[in-house]
Amino acid sequence: MDTITLVENQVDDGQVFLKRLDQERFPVLAACWVKPTDEDRWSLYLVTPLVDEKGAAAAYREAYRILRSLGPLWVTDSDVKLIGEKHHVANDVFEIMRKYPGRTPTRSRRPLLGGISVEEVYLYPPLRPRDPRSDLGLRRLKSPVGQRLHAVDLTSPYTPEEQHAVEQLEAGGMSPDEARYWIWKKREKERELRLIPAGTIVKANYAACWGEKPEDDPNPLLHVEAGDGGHGLTFLDNTVPA
């Protein structure tokens, strides 16, 4: 079988897709185009913790929504394969990243990737390399913190109550997209009311600071994440070391 070449348009549009995922806080730990030996096309593998946290169906719904929002690209829904951090393919992708760190793409002609026979792998460099200085480790909240709505929460199926509300809105003359918007707004409000309680131990990292670096700000803004997946924003002075 002749090798199917990965074209420049696929590479460039894949990068566009990755940037939009990052902007919408859809976490991607690694991304690569893979050409399996027994297939006549390339697939874009994305390693994301959302597969394990929210389930594959919810993760795909959100990824597809973001991809389709970009208009026509050389990346289609059927090209995208989402895998969790412990997937056998992810393990080999992380190994390649450790072997070839840096800010340039990596091409690998290893014969196997996670047990799959492959012809070639094109690995994107990390979009935003993790700065270990941004990680504050575990902190304890002094007062409650409102939860932020996760992107995947927007695409989860309607509850019976929400479906009834959508039907009412559409009967009143709203379009499906307008009705969906108000369901999202209600979900956002409800999430804000579900507080991460005071005393909760959270993972914390810098979200923003006033100055060139966090050390210049006596009270920088933190992003905190609880063990149950709830996450929100608070200031450093609302936390103490755990």
Residue 1: the pLDDT is 40
Mean pLDDT across the stretch 194-211?
87
Give me the mean pLDDT over the 152-176 stretch: 85
For residue 39, what is the domain's CATH number? 3.30.460
Q: Residue 2: which pLDDT band, with cuts at 50, 70 and 90?
A: very low
| Residue in 73, 89, 109, 112 with CA at minimum distance from that of residue 29 | 89
Both 140 and 217 in one domain: the answer is yes
Cβ-proximal residues to 65 (8 Å cutoff; 6+ apart), any chain? 154, 155
Are residues 242 and 135 both part of a single domain?
A: yes
Range of the domain at 212: 131-147+194-242
**pLDDT of res. 183:** 87
| pLDDT tens-digit map of 45-78 | 999 988 988 899 999 999 999 999 999 999 999 9
Q: What pLDDT, on a 0 to 100 scale, did the predictor assign at position 135?
A: 76
119 and 12 both lie in a single domain: yes
CA 79: distance to chain centroid? 17
Q: Token pair for residue 197?
A: 């309680």
Asked if residue 187 and residue 198 are part of one domain, the reply reads: no
Do 137 and 156 fall within a single domain? no
Which residue type sits at 192?
A: E
Residues 27 and 119 in one domain: yes
pLDDT for residue 133: 52
Q: Which residues contact 22 (CB under 8 A, 6 or more apart)?
A: 28, 127, 128
Domain count, the chain: 3
Angle between helices 56-68 and 8-23 (to 10 degrees): 110
Instruction: Give the Cβ contact number of residue 118 at 10 Å.
Output: 20
Specify whether the CB–CB gap between 125 and 107 falls below 8 A. Answer: no
Tell me, what's the pLDDT at 140?
95
110 found inside a domain: yes
Q: CA nearest 182: which of 168, 198, 200?
A: 168
Q: Is the pLDDT of residue 214 over 90?
A: no
- Identify the band that residue 232 occupies on the pLDDT scale cut at 50, 70 and 90: confident
8 Å CB contact between 13 and 74:
yes
Whether 1 is in a domain gets the answer no
Residue 35 lies in a domain: yes
Structure tokens at 200: 């909760």
Both 57 and 92 in a single domain? yes
